């Protein structure tokens, strides 16, 4: 079994990912979704957490000249810190906006201008939070070696956004691998897998068309 399928199995095992094509979740945006992903759940399972970190560190180690890790607040912070520790490189994290008190930092930790950072996030949906963090890093003088995440929904719009920003994106698992694992293990039917594939192609249209 390849890494993406193995990680997908772990996500399903611990309930970090839940699939409910018949009774979808409602996201903060109001869109209805047949999937909910919360990779923070992984932190509560030491053996699986170690497996995830090993896969992330392996992916990071295969990249060229990564000199630091930048976690994206908030969910990317713990995973990014664990990867930085495994690779023995500096760690910083990026807030979505600057604090309104104290030193009013948006970047926490010591950023070194010219250092090549890997942006680490737990989940890629639109890619907006990771790309915004990369912009903040670049404005502060850091260089971007790429972006790394545990899981991606594989939205075409996200792929285009990373390509436009010229930031290579690597994930250790993805939506296609998840559907394969879920169907093979009997957690979803072939019909439900088709419904879930339809959602990925056009989440808004799927949400608008859903009838309770």
Residue whose C-alpha is closest to residue 34's, from 185, 209, 161, 186: 209
Residues annotated within a binding site for orotate: 125
Q: What CA–CA distance (Å, rounded) separates 50 from 42?
A: 9
Tell me 44's DSSP state.
G
Residue 129: both structure tokens together: 């939070």
Q: In the chain, what are the helix, strand and coil shares in percent, each to the nearest 5?
A: 45, 20, 35
Residues annotated within a binding site: 95, 99, 101, 121-129
Tell me 148's DSSP state.
E
| Chain centre to alpha carbon of residue 198 | 21
Q: Which helix (H) or strand (E) holds 85?
A: helix 76-87
Q: What CA–CA distance (Å, rounded) separates 140 from 181?
A: 41
Q: What CA–CA distance (Å, rounded) separates 111 from 109?
A: 6
Residues annotated within a binding site for 5-phospho-alpha-D-ribose 1-diphosphate: 95, 99, 101, 121-129
């Amino acid at each position: 079994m390849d890494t993406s399928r193995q990680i997908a199995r772990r996500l399903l095992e611990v309930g970090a990912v839940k699939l409910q094509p018949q009774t979808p979740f409602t996201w903060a945006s109001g869109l209805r979704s047949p999937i909910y992903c919360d990779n923070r759940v992984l932190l509560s399972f030491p053996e699986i957490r170690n497996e995830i970190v090993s896969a992330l560190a392996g992916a990071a180690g295969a990249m060229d000249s990564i000199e630091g890790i930048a976690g994206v607040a908030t969910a990317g912070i713990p995973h990014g810190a664990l990867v930085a520790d495994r690779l023995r490189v500096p760690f910083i994290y990026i807030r979505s906006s600057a604090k309104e008190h104290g030193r009013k930092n948006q970047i926490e930790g010591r950023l070194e201008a010219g250092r090549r950072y890997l942006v680490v996030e737990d989940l890629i949906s639109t890619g907006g939070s990771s790309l915004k963090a990369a912009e903040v890093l670049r404005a502060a003088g850091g260089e971007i070696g790429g972006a790394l995440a545990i899981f991606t929904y594989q939205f075409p719009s996200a792929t285009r956004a990373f390509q436009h920003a010229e930031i290579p994106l690597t994930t250790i698992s993805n939506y296609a691998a998840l559907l394969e694992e879920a169907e093979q293990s009997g957690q979803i039917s072939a019909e439900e897998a088709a419904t879930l594939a339809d959602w990925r192609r056009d989440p808004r249209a799927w949400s608008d068309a859903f009838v309770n």
